[in-house]
Structures are given as C-alpha cells and as structure tokens.
Amino acid sequence: MTQTSPLRHAVVIGGSMAGLLAAAVLAEHAAVTIIDADTLPESPEPRRGLPQARHVHVMWSGGARAIEEILPGITEEWTRAGAIRRSLPGDLVTKTAQGWIPRCAEKQFNISCSRDLLDSVVRARVTSLEGVTTLQETRVTALEGTAARITGVRIDTPDGRGRLVDADLVVDASGRGSRARTWLQELGVSGIERAEVDSGLVYATRVFAAPPGAHEMGFPIVNVQSDPRVPVPGRTATIVPIENGRWQATLSGTRGGQPTGDPEEFIPFAKGIRDPIVGELLEGRTPLTDVAVTRGNANRRLYFEKADLPDGFFAVGDSVATFNPLYGQGMTVAAQGLLAVRALLRARGLAQPGFGRRAQRALAPQVGTAWELATSQDILYPGATGMAPRAGAGLLNGYVSRLMTGATTREALTSAFLQVITMSSAPTYWLRPSVVWHVLRASDRDALKAAPLTAAERAVAGLDRDPVGAPAPTDLPDLSALPPLSDLPELPELPDAAAASRPVDPAHPVDPAHPVDPVGRAR
C-alpha cells in the first residue's frame, strides 16, 4: 500500500458495488472505513439495503474491464464462484426495437450471475485489503464540517448515537436513498441541481429452475426489448441463466403497461409483449421464488460537479445518478469513473487541495454519457415526465435507429452496436467514418424473423414446435434530411483513464470478428 505521511483516513458511506470499488481505489493512499446500515453478508445473500438486487443484473464488458483494473483477477473469481462468462452476441438471443440480432463471432462479453454473487466476490476481495475496515449496522446521520471543508461524519451505531468519525475524505456511495444533498445544504452548500426523467417503469422478477441440461449446454440469455418509437407503453422480458442452475426472469413495463406481483400474471405478461419467446420458455418451469416487484425506477441525476462543493467530499454511483436498470449502466459508470479518480490520486495524492471537487468532475463524463443514452429513450414513452430531449436529438436518434437496423443484418454494425451498449466506448464511436460507411449502406434485407435459438436449445427448453415468425422490421428512416455529421450534437468522450481500460485493435476499428480480449474467457 502506498502511504502518505501522516496516514490519512477516508470514510466511504455505503458498502455496495460503488462503495466497495471506491474503497479499493482509496486504499492505496489511506486507511478506509466503509460504513453501512446493513449487516454485510459473507456469502451471496440478499440484504435489506439493496432491494434491486432481486432483479436481473448483467455486468457488461466495459464494466468488467474497469473493475478488473481496480481488482486484478476479479473476473476469474466471479466465474469460480459460479458466474457465467457470456460471449456477445454468440450467447445472446435479443430482439431490439429494430429486430433480432444475429448470433455471430464474439464482439464483447458480459458476466451473468445474481447481483448478490457479484457483490459478494468484490466485497470479500475489498474487505481483505490492508487498511480497509467496516462499520456495519451503522447509519450516517450528517456530514461534519463546513461549506468549505468536510472533516468527518456523525453516525448512529447499535451502541450509541451521534458519534463523530473524523476523516480527511468522505465519499458518499449510499445509493438511491442518499441524503448527501440535504446534508450539504444544512452546511450552507447550494447550487446542487437535480434532473429527472420518469417513464413510470416497474420491474417484476421471479427465479425459476432451468431445464435439465440447459446450463451444461450454455443456454443463452434471452431478451425482448420494447420499441420506444411506437407510442405504446414499453414492455420487456428477459431470462438470464445464473449460478446454481437457475433462470432469473425479469419483466418491465412503463406507465400504463407495468407488470404486477401476481404470480398468475407473470408468464402471460411475458407472452404478451412484442415476441412471446420469454413466456414460452418459462412455461412449465418450476418457480423457486415469489414475484419481486420494484417501483420508483426513474432516471435521476444530481449535478454535484456544478456546485461549489466543500473540500474533502465527493459522491459516486447511485448517489449521483440512477438510470433505468434495463440498460445495465450503473455499476459500469461507477467503475469507469473511479478509474479516473484513481488516476488523479496516483498523479498527486489524496493531500492535493481541492481533490474532492476534482474527483467529482472526473466522474461526470461517464455519468453524462449514460444519462444521455437512458433518458433519450425513456422520455419517448407515453406518460413519461421530465426534461425534454436536447436540440437535434431526433436527427441523431434517426441515425442510431438506422445503425441498429443494420446491426440485425451487417456484422460490422452488430460489433459497433455492442461496442457502445456494453460501455466499451462512448457513443461518439458510432460517428466514426468506418461505422458511418456501414450505416449508410444498412438494410433490413434478410433480417431474422424469429428468435435465433438453435435446434438443440429449443429441444432442451421443450420448444418442440415451429418458431413463430416475428413481424418484419419497420421501414428504415429517410436519411436525406440528416445534416452533415459535423452538425450532429456532440456527445461526451470518456476520459483517458477510462479509455485506457478498453483495448481497441487499431487494425479492426469496427472489429467485425476479432474477440475483444481474454478477460474471463474461461467459462
């Protein structure tokens, strides 16, 4: 451990993924205390403070690589613990708004398992680091200090209330329920702006026993997405094979089309969306849990980076921004942002004046990229509330729609689509000349009409009938009205620290067939 003199102390509020990764980054420079209101389990178990863990969580390759940089070897530890390394799009059967994505050679990957397992492996690794300790069943009640400088936190423990914990740095990673904005306002800090886009999204999840032999054969993730271009509630259904021979099935619906907690309605809901394949796969499966429902999944963002924050403080993860969980961005945004924070620390150390403010600004580009991707789609659904799309968003959405249509038939565009969706590159990747060339030639000709399950997969799942043909993709948008690329709105680039975590082969700018990297390659 690299130490400053005298040894400094950092407090991290929250022991979930963002808090654990923050602790790992800070442990190079300080003693770290993680404070959490729960008892942190030693194995993959649910905990009260993370109710969203009951739903599907997929670690995209962009996030896995970032966490691998912070905790080398973590991907292998996940797979040893039971997680499944999935090749994309080879191990993915997904219908996007534009149609089915063909299953071809690896472009990206993800890690499939329960959120409890993801956190458990990282928690065991981080809490074993030198200088990292935890205060469990402990609630932070206030920030200590002034509008100029945070000097610690006040906590309530099982043994007493109002105890002071001194700190050179306080990191808020307490999640959706964060009170950091209120605490800062109580100290006289103003100007922390807030934004929200709410589509009324509701999630419902149930875990089923997978069919015998499905895990052994590597049964794929199956996902049917909504189409925000159609003015109806957006409804989705997903099956993710997870550890211990289980299928985790999550349904979602926006305002006017939400799923419920009624177990009798779970499979009918899945069969009633754009393609019934998820419901058909679940029919006859043995449920292992009740239906878990989560509401209040609005996209929310606090612009800490625009305020005059006191020194000795920054926020990360869901404390800064929460996104529609459908896009799987939260953990990756936190990990990539903390890589940028690590670069600041390694350059000048924790003692640098104004470090907290610099760290907050370093996190902002990742948050901004995810915010644009999530809110530009969610605001399109009927009844959605919040900030309107920025100028030019319609034209850019038309270009992206054509790119995604091309991804259903053209392998180079499948690669480009996954490069951004897995957060391995910023959306500006889609405006590269090599990608634009393919987009201008995109066609829906020969697009798949049904879910691309193999005969063996259909057999193990008990689908012994002919596949049902899906509707043909809608007509391509007219590109004649699009302005020159130079006139399209700029999208934020990821900072160098995050970019360094994603190797790109310059000989394959669209990377139509080359496997991305060896991280976690063993299944």
pLDDT in tens, 196-229: 998 888 999 999 999 999 999 999 999 999 998 8
Q: In this structure, what token pair is assigned to residue 335?
A: 């990990």
pLDDT at 488 over 50: no
pTM equals 0.87
Q: What is the mean pLDDT of residues 364-388?
A: 85
For residue 391, the model assigns a pLDDT of 58
3-class DSSP state for residue 75? helix
More confident residue, 382 or 340: 340
Q: Which range in 399-403, 452-456, 462-466 is most confidently predicted, on average pLDDT?
A: 452-456
pLDDT at 246 over 90: yes
For residue 376, the model assigns a pLDDT of 81
Phi-psi region of 426 (alpha: psi -120 to 50; beta: other; left: phi over 0): beta
Q: What is the mean pLDDT of residues 422-448?
A: 93
Confidence class for position 465, pLDDT limits 50, 70, 90: low
For residue 53, the model assigns a pLDDT of 74
Confidence class for position 325, pLDDT limits 50, 70, 90: confident
Q: Using one digit for the tens of pLDDT, what is the confidence trace for 387-406? A: 776 655 566 778 989 999 99
pLDDT at 338 over 70: yes
More confident residue, 2 or 440: 440
Confidence class for position 505, pLDDT limits 50, 70, 90: very low
For residue 394, the model assigns a pLDDT of 61
Q: In this structure, what token pair is assigned to residue 197?
A: 């886009």
SS (H, E, C) 207-222: EEECCCCCCCCCCCEE
Residue carrying structure tokens 């099935």: 249
3-class DSSP state for residue 10? strand
pLDDT at 250 over 70: yes
* pLDDT, mean over the chain: 86
For residue 390, the model assigns a pLDDT of 64
Give DSSP secondary structure letters for 247-309: EEEEEEE-TTS---S-HHHHHHHHHTSS--HHHHHHTTPPB-S--EEE----EEEEEGGGS-P
- Residue 369: enclosing H or E segment and its boundaries? helix 355-378
For residue 300, the model assigns a pLDDT of 92
Out of 25-29, 40-44, 408-412, pick the least confident.
40-44
Percent of the chain with pLDDT over 70: 86
For residue 351, the model assigns a pLDDT of 86
- Residue 332: enclosing H or E segment and its boundaries? helix 330-348
Q: Using one digit for the tens of pLDDT, what is the confidence trace for 262-318? A: 999 999 999 999 999 999 999 999 999 999 999 878 889 999 999 999 999 999 999
3-class DSSP state for residue 470? coil
Q: Which range in 75-84, 319-328, 364-373 is most confidently predicted, on average pLDDT?
A: 75-84
Q: In this structure, what token pair is assigned to residue 126?
A: 């981080």
pLDDT at 480 over 90: no
Nearest alpha carbon to residue 465 among 473, 455, 475: 455
Confidence class for position 501, pLDDT limits 50, 70, 90: very low
For residue 393, the model assigns a pLDDT of 59
pLDDT at 70 over 60: yes
